[in-house]
Amino acid sequence: MSRSRTPLYLGIAAAGGVGYYLYSAGGSPKVAEQKFENDLKSVRDRASGATNELRPEAEKYGAEAGAKIDSAVAKAQSEYNRAAAQARDASANVSKQVEDARSQVNKSIDAFDKKVEDTASKAKSGVSGWFGGK
């Protein structure tokens, strides 16, 4: 069964680092520790300096990205408003057409009813005449 060799490599790297600082300090652990802390401090200062240099560029790119997002949102909002207005207009037209069609149907029904009533009235008077009615 294979085992990970990562802990072995980390241990060798740590021992090498300790050996380097002890050797460069002439074998004195206190001096080696102080050199190690100075190196850490210089790395930290360089990293924060790089961060401070990158901050204005990041802010510039952030502002550009924000402007693009705002533009896209405004464009989407205007497209939505235009589509909503078209939908309202179409709905109003359909409602008007439905009302016109309903009116025409009602007129046709009324004309048909009147014709049926007139014909029924004539037929009734004709049949009543057979049986002695008016």
Q: Is 25 part of any domain? A: yes
Give CA–CA dist 31/131, Å, rounded.
140
In angstroms, how far is the first alpha carbon of the chain from the final one? 118
Please report, as a single letter, which amino acid is at residue 64: E
| 2 has a pLDDT exceeding 90 | no
Is the Cβ–Cβ distance between 21 and 32 less than 8 Å?
Answer: yes
Give CA–CA dist 76/84, Å, rounded.
12
Q: Is 113 part of any domain? A: no
The model's pLDDT over 56-107, given as tens digits with 9 standing for 90+, comes to 777 888 888 989 999 999 999 999 999 999 999 999 999 999 999 999 999 9
Structural domain boundaries enclosing 21: 8-96
Q: Is 62 part of any domain? A: yes
Answering whether pTM is above 0.95, one says: no
Structural domains counted in the chain: 1
